[in-house]
């Protein structure tokens, strides 16, 4: 039992029944360009496209309390001031409920017979956040109350906003027109956009100066204006602009009133900027507020959010015997895949939206779990990412979503990055069959004006890894591979330098077995792709690269019971029985196995059994064992974490999923499900006070058994776990695999499962697939019929019908 809430599966909501959750539990609003972070107490902030360069409302991370600042509504009833989401006043409520749904959050608070419902959402395709507000008098006497809305504006560039007070305290500018509060800082000079915080009903007062509303010596828990009960109608000049409306309401017993606040990002476009000197032309914003003030407009906009998600999720739905797997796959996992696709690792409660932009490897992997929902957007993203590749094959490790330019501070030379581009492109091709993407012309980031085909970018990626190899003929690791904290080339002794970027050790030839495995996987993708394209010579050529790397891996990287992880700058093995600590790692087992190593000589099975013996725990698979107990200069950041956390023997959920796929490859569906459940948040509800993060989305990390807080999760939401879990369960366990030839059905399920069904939209047709498991096995399709006709093998022939196709599958020997 989870004392904080429960899943309402039918409504696709997670319902939080008390506000003091073990950590703030987050939801996201918006799915195109305008995004809001919204916690269960209405905390969070909003931005347009880029949390660093276009932040609309302000948020101070790691505050006390941790989550402070957001979309607040203060209710003043007599002398009592309260918030429907409990915070910031924390006045005790008679009733509280928060429903995190798909693209919306609904918070209801009630006190002394006044019930306030706030429904926050961003309609698809719009740059406006709507707060539908409903006030009900649930008692039997009339009520007169005063409401005060509150938002603190961010001066758009979030880094400057939080650091450069000598400037920012002097630049803030606002205008007020009726119920519209316009935040126009820097609009007079280089900005052609502004923010609008408006109300769809007439207001009885307003404030735009934080000092006037909150008070210099007060906080959001005891803001001056709600306490005194009257707005000051302040106009902010510099300092900190805010938006607040005062609304006086009298409600008869049983009566209710509904209206909305809107928070919009407005681009001025070609409209003249000013009506007259110092007075901005507000026509675009004014029209937006008018549009939402029309009867029915708010509800119609919300209906669009619901329809949007109904449509998207209908592309993949399953009924399977495991309730956690079903609800996560059908709803929350796909929803989280949208968030990671949109935001990469940029803006969550653990990422400030300022540091990282979009990650090259991260975004490529995010596509794997997203491509079935909106392939067109995946296509564009692949092209954007590819254009941050350099002509030698390496790529910018990160880029800024607004400018789509590589981040020069961090640069390239993370030697796994470019290979993930092969995986994302292949997943797009297998999903859509749209080969035109391979001809799309995209430049290399370091050659202005260059254009080359995407296919050539993929070849450049393959060539880079083939070329950049070390003494064991394994790929050089560069700054790091997938494990950002395995820093074999930079011996950092200064606390104030970056583990990844400090000057490379002279002549270092540190190598990565994980990259070798990833290369095998990518090369095999290329071979299949060339065969499908009807280019057998190219398929053979890439096959020969594969064979060569496979031989190298088998000769150089086998340690007796598992695959070595890497060779350090001195040529010593990392992740070998000869090491004192860090003897065995997940990543090399996973990628060697997924890449086809050990398939013919029993090593794959042995490597996986070693994972089970040394790394598996009921809370997930530990990244490596034994944990590093001291700092190792030659290994870098990995040994900087206390044992059991993050890359130092934490449970990194992301790479757990690769092992789960490995079990499916080996045909062990029982292990695959058991491992899956070990990191599944929905299965953590009975130990939620230990786990602490949201039970509806995967976390990046769970503290391992070496930690002092084993089982405690961190870094929820923005993690590669989202996309990879979707793959490991939908394609591995349930075995619904998009392939070049068509949809393949190759389940690997627990023996006890009698069967399951999946409805999958693929290339425009919906396949209703029923799988029966009469003889209680894990893997093996005995018979498949498509619309009643028996077909050979287990690939559903592509159908151009655009309608429904009935597929029956029977497992058996
Ligand atoms: C983080 C990074 C990801 C990296 C992983 C392991 O999740 O976003 O790029 O692969 O950590 O270090
Ligand atoms: C990854 C790791 C994190 C590390 C970062 C870069 O995201 O998860 O531990 O700090 O890379 O240094």
C-alpha 492 – ligand 1 centre gap (Å) = 20
Conformational region of residue 692, where left means phi above 0, alpha means psi within -120 to 50, and beta covers everything else: left
- List residues bridging with 154 in a β-sheet: none
Annotated catalytic residue, options 322, 417, 484, 568? 484
- Could you tell me if the CB of 562 is within 6 A of ligand 1? no
- Could you tell me if the CB of 388 is within 6 A of ligand 1? no
Question: Using one digit for the tens of pLDDT, what is the confidence trace for 691-701?
Answer: 999 999 999 99
How do the residues of the chain divide into helix, strand and coil, expressed in percent and rounded to 5? 30, 30, 40
* Atom number in ligand 2 closest to CA 652: 8
C-alpha 487 – ligand 2 centre gap (Å) = 11
**CA-closest residue to ligand 2 atom 6:** 484
Sign of CA dihedral 571, 576, 580, 585: positive
C-alpha 398 – ligand 1 centre gap (Å) = 12
Is residue 484 part of the annotated active site? The answer reads yes
Q: What is the pLDDT of residue 402?
A: 83
Length of the chain: 813
Q: What is the pLDDT of residue 713?
A: 98
DSSP-assigned letters across all residues of 758-804: EEEEETTEEEEEEEE-TT--SB-EEEEEETTEEESTTEEPP----SE
Q: In what order do the strands lie in the sheet with 573-574?
A: 511-512, 566-567, 573-574
* Atom number in ligand 1 closest to CA 345: 8
DSSP 695: T
C-alpha 481 – ligand 1 centre gap (Å) = 9
**CA-closest residue to ligand 1 atom 9:** 362
d(CA 429, CA 106): 38
Sign of CA dihedral 321, 322, 325, 327: positive
Read off the pLDDT of each residue in 283-311 and give the average, rounded to a whole number.
98
For residues 400 and 725, the model is more confident at 725
Q: What is the mean pLDDT of the chain?
A: 97
Sign of CA dihedral 150, 155, 156, 159: negative
Examine the pLDDT at 499 and tell me if it is beyond 80: yes
End-to-end C-alpha distance for the chain, whole angstroms: 40
- List residues bridging with 80 in a β-sheet: 77
**CA-closest residue to ligand 2 atom 1:** 484
766 touches 759 (CB < 8 A)? yes
802 band by pLDDT with thresholds 50, 70 and 90: confident
Read off the pLDDT of each residue in 449-459 and give the average, rounded to a whole number.
96
* Residue 103 to residues 304, 561, 740, 752, Cα–Cα distance (Å): 11, 47, 33, 36
Q: What is the pLDDT of residue 356?
A: 78
C-alpha 490 – ligand 2 centre gap (Å) = 15
Question: Using one digit for the tens of pLDDT, what is the confidence trace for 145-157?
Answer: 999 999 999 999 9
Three-state DSSP at 667 gives coil
- Could you tell me if the CB of 2 is within 6 A of ligand 1? no
Ligand 2 neighbours (beta carbon < 6 A) = 484-485, 500, 637, 646-647
- Could you tell me if the CB of 359 is within 6 A of ligand 1? yes
Q: What is the pLDDT of residue 400?
A: 85
* Atom number in ligand 2 closest to CA 700: 8
- Could you tell me if the CB of 647 is within 6 A of ligand 1? yes
- Residues in CB range of 393: below 8 A, 6 or more apart: 418, 460, 461, 463, 464, 465, 467
662 touches 594 (CB < 8 A)? yes
Read off the pLDDT of each residue in 503-518 and give the average, rounded to a whole number.
90
Question: Burial, 798: exposed, middle or buried (Cβ in 10 Å; 0-12, 13-18, 19+)?
Answer: middle
The secondary structure element, H or E, covering residue 119 is strand 114-121
Q: What is the pLDDT of residue 506?
A: 77
- Could you tell me if the CB of 478 is within 6 A of ligand 1? no
Number of neighbouring beta carbons within 10 Å of residue 766: 17
Read off the pLDDT of each residue in 340-344 and give the average, rounded to a whole number.
95
Examine the pLDDT at 244 and tell me if it is beyond 90: yes
65 touches 59 (CB < 8 A)? no
Question: Using one digit for the tens of pLDDT, what is the confidence trace for 160-205?
Answer: 999 999 999 999 999 999 999 999 999 999 999 999 999 999 999 9
Q: β-strands 398-399, 80-82: how paired? A: unpaired
Question: Using one digit for the tens of pLDDT, what is the confidence trace for 665-681?
Answer: 999 999 999 999 999 99
- Residues in CB range of 271: below 8 A, 6 or more apart: 281, 283, 284
**CA-closest residue to ligand 1 atom 6:** 483
Q: What percent of the chain has pLDDT over 90?
A: 95
**CA-closest residue to ligand 1 atom 7:** 719
> Which of 345, 407, 411, 484 is the pocket-test mutation for ligand 2 (most atoms within 8 Å of CB)?
484
* Atom number in ligand 1 closest to CA 361: 9
Q: What is the pLDDT of residue 507?
A: 83
**CA-closest residue to ligand 2 atom 10:** 485
C-alpha 625 – ligand 2 centre gap (Å) = 19
Q: What is the pLDDT of residue 505?
A: 75
801 band by pLDDT with thresholds 50, 70 and 90: confident
- Could you tell me if the CB of 483 is within 6 A of ligand 1? yes
* Atom number in ligand 2 closest to CA 646: 9
- Could you tell me if the CB of 587 is within 6 A of ligand 1? no
d(CA 381, CA 217): 47
Q: Please, how many CA atoms are within 13 Å of residue 605, restricted to the half-sphere of its CB?
A: 7
Q: Where does 480-602 have alpha helices with state H?
A: 513-533, 536-556, 586-594
Question: Burial, 529: exposed, middle or buried (Cβ in 10 Å; 0-12, 13-18, 19+)?
Answer: buried
C-alpha 479 – ligand 2 centre gap (Å) = 12
Beta strands in 268-364 (DSSP E): 274-276, 279-280, 316-319, 358-359
* Residue 35 to residues 27, 56, 369, Cα–Cα distance (Å): 10, 10, 20
- Could you tell me if the CB of 484 is within 6 A of ligand 1? yes
DSSP-assigned letters across all residues of 41-82: TSB--EEES-TTTSEEE---TT-SSSS--BSEEEEEETTEEE
Q: What is the pLDDT of residue 92?
A: 98
Question: Burial, 248: exposed, middle or buried (Cβ in 10 Å; 0-12, 13-18, 19+)?
Answer: middle
622 band by pLDDT with thresholds 50, 70 and 90: very high
797 band by pLDDT with thresholds 50, 70 and 90: confident
Q: What is the pLDDT of residue 500?
A: 86
- Could you tell me if the CB of 67 is within 6 A of ligand 1? no
């Amino acid at each position: 039992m989870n004392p904080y809430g429960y899943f309402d599966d039918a409504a696709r909501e997670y319902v939080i029944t008390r506000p003091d959750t073990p950590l703030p539990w987050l939801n996201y609003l918006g799915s195109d360009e305008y995004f809001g972070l919204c916690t269960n107490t209405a905390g969070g902030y909003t931005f347009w496209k880029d949390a660093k360069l276009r932040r609309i409302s302000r948020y101070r991370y790691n505050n006390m309390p941790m989550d402070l600042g957001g979309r607040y509504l203060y209710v003043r009833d007599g002398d009592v001031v309260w918030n429907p989401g409990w915070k910031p006043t924390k006045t005790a409520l008679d009733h509280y409920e928060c429903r995190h749904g798909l693209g919306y959050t609904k918070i209801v608070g009630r006190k002394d017979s006044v019930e306030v419902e706030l429904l926050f959402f961003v309609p698809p395709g719009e740059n406006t956040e709507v707060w539908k507000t409903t006030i009900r008098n649930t008692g039997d006497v009339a009520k007169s109350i005063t409401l005060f809305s509150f938002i603190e504006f961010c001066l758009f560039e979030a880094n400057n906003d939080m650091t450069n007070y000598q400037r920012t305290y002097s630049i803030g500018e606002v205008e007020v027109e009726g119920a519209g509060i316009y935040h126009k800082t820097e609009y007079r000079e280089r900005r052609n956009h502004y923010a609008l915080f408006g109300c769809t009903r007439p207001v009885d007062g307003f404030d735009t100066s934080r000092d006037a509303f909150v008070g210099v010596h007060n906080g959001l828990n005891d803001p001056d204006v709600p306490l005194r009960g009257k707005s000051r109608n302040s106009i902010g000049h510099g300092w900190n602009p805010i938006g607040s409306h005062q609304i006086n309401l009298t409600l008869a017993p049983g009566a209710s009133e509904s209206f909305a606040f809107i928070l919009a990002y407005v681009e001025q476009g070609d409209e003249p900027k000013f009506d007259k000197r110092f007075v901005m032309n507000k026509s675009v914003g004014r029209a937006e507020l008018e549009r939402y003030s029309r009867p029915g407009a708010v509800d119609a906009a919300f209906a669009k959010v619901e329809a949007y998600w109904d449509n998207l999720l209908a592309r993949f739905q399953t009924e399977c015997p495991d309730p956690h797997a079903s609800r996560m796959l059908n709803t929350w996992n796909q929803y989280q895949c949208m968030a990671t696709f949109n935001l990469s690792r940029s803006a969550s409660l653990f990422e400030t939206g300022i540091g990282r932009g979009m990650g090259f490897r991260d975004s490529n992997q995010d596509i794997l779990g997203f491509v079935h929902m909106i392939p067109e957007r995946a296509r564009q993203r692949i092209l954007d990412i590819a254009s941050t590749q350099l002509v030698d094959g390496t790529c910018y490790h990160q880029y800024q979503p607004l400018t789509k330019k590589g981040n020069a501070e961090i640069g390239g030379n993370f030697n796994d990055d470019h290979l993930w581009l092969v995986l994302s492109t292949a997943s797009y091709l297998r999903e859509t069959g749209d080969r035109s993407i391979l001809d799309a012309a995209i430049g290399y980031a370091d050659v202005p004006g260059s254009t080359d085909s995407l296919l050539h970018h993929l070849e450049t990626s393959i060539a880079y890894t083939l070329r950049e190899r070390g003494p064991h003929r394994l790929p050089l690791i560069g700054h790091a591979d997938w494990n950002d904290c395995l820093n074999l080339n930079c011996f950092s002794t200064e606390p104030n330098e970056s583990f990844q970027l400090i000057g490379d050790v002279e002549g270092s030839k540190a190598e990565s077995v994980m990259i070798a495995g990833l290369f095998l996987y990518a090369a095999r993708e290329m071979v299949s792709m060339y065969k499908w394209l009807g280019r057998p010579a190219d398929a053979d050529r890439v096959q020969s690269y594969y064979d060569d790397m496979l031989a190298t891996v088998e000769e150089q990287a086998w340690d007796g019971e598992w695959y070595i992880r890497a060779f350090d700058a001195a040529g010593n093995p990392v992740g070998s029985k000869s090491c004192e600590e860090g003897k065995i790692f997940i990543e090399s087992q996973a990628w060697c196995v997924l890449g086809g190593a050990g398939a013919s000589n029993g090593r794959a099975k042995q490597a996986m059994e070693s994972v089970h013996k040394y790394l598996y725990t009921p809370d997930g698979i530990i990244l490596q064992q034994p944990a590093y107990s001291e700092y190792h200069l030659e290994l870098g950041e990995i040994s900087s974490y206390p044992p059991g956390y993050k890359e130092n023997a934490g449970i990194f959920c992301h790479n757990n999923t690769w092992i789960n796929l490995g079990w499916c490859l080996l045909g062990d569906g029982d292990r695959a499900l058991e491992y899956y459940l070990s990191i599944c948040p929905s299965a953590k509800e009975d130990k939620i006070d230990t786990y602490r993060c949201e039970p509806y989305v995967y976390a990046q990390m769970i503290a391992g058994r070496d930690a002092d807080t084993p089982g405690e999760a961190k870094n929820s939401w923005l993690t590669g776990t989202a996309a990879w879990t979707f793959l490991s369960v939908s394609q591995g366990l349930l075995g619904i695999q998009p392939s070049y030839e068509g949809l393949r059905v190759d389940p690997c399920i627990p023996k006890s499962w009698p069967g399951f069904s999946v409805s999958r939209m693929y290339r425009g047709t919906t396949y209703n697939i029923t799988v029966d498991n009469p003889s209680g096995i894990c893997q093996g399709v005995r018979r498949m019929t498509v619309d009643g006709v028996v077909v050979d093998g287990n690939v559903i022939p592509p159908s151009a019908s655009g309608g429904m196709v009935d597929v029956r599958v029977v497992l058996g020997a």
